[in-house]
Amino acid sequence: MLGGVIPDFLTIRQLFDFRGVEIGRWVKHSEQEYAAACFYDALCDLTQILAGQSLPTAKTLRLRRELISLRGTLALQYGRGGRPGVSAHYSPLQRSFALAKNAGPGSIAHEWFHAFDHYMAAKAFSAAPRMSFASSLWLQNTNAIEHPLNSMLGDCYQAIMLSADGNHPSPLFVASAAQDKALNIHYYSQPEELCARAFEAFIQDAAIKNAFLVKGSKESAEAQLGLYPQGEQRLTINRAFSRYFSALSQALLNQSPVNAH
């Protein structure tokens, strides 16, 4: 809720500075109203979780526009632009996050991290291909741009994809590769998918709970297969993400045009 008023998608676009919001022609007004309220609450909660603290209103508004919409580069689609059989997806080509009209809750954290991972490719690596993800470039050891924040993001990727000593694949990667082999696909072990699921776990473990934002990293069938971080690795990943996003949020709030990341 926004001051007792249910926000619509236009309000969400303005408050978060999304590049655009598109609604499918078959989405009824009542469906739009419900979805917009869920989106708004989920994105507000995501802002607070990433900041790692409760922020004054003015700073919260700024962080929404700087971080959640990736400085106005991210677009939203609801009830259009989806893929058959897929409830939500992120399109690197369009830089757009799409949620199907009848999608179940819990997809936002995963797809937002895909958008963030894609956005950071050009920030963390020189000459990054347009469709690349920072997680994949990190694993390939591709021309990293030196910056304290990039180093902390690398710590997140290492905690997700490598063992504690950094010399072997992580338990999450091993379980994901095993599932890919069993299904004869290459999906779960892709760096961007590993990291998006690890981010889901980080968000679900936060003190703020929102099932529209994230669910399923603990008791779902995928979680039982080890496709989400478990045990000590999960704690290590959560600490790395917390450290990185707290530092990033503070940098965005304190930045000037000269030192902007």
For 117, the 3-state DSSP assignment is helix
Q: Is residue 28 part of a domain?
A: yes
pLDDT value at residue 257: 40
Q: Is residue 94 part of a domain?
A: yes
Q: Is residue 259 part of a domain?
A: no
**Model pLDDT for residues 185-204, shown as the tens digit of each residue:** 999 999 999 999 999 999 99
Structurally, the chain folds into a number of domains equal to 1
For 17, the enclosing helix (H) or strand (E) is none
Q: Is residue 261 part of a domain?
A: no
Tell me the CA end-to-end span of the chain in Å, nearest whole number. 32
Instruction: Provide the domain limits for residue 140.
Output: 9-254
Contact 217, 197 (CB under 8 A): yes
pTM for this predicted structure: 0.93
Reference 13, options 87, 60, 63, 64; nearest CA is 64
pLDDT value at residue 35: 87
pLDDT value at residue 78: 86
Reference 154, options 117, 202, 113; nearest CA is 117
Contact 251, 243 (CB under 8 A): no
**Model pLDDT for residues 114-166, shown as the tens digit of each residue:** 999 999 999 999 989 999 999 999 999 988 999 999 999 999 999 999 999 99
pLDDT value at residue 55: 85
pLDDT value at residue 255: 77
Q: Is residue 2 part of a domain?
A: no
Intervals of the chain under pLDDT 50: 256-260
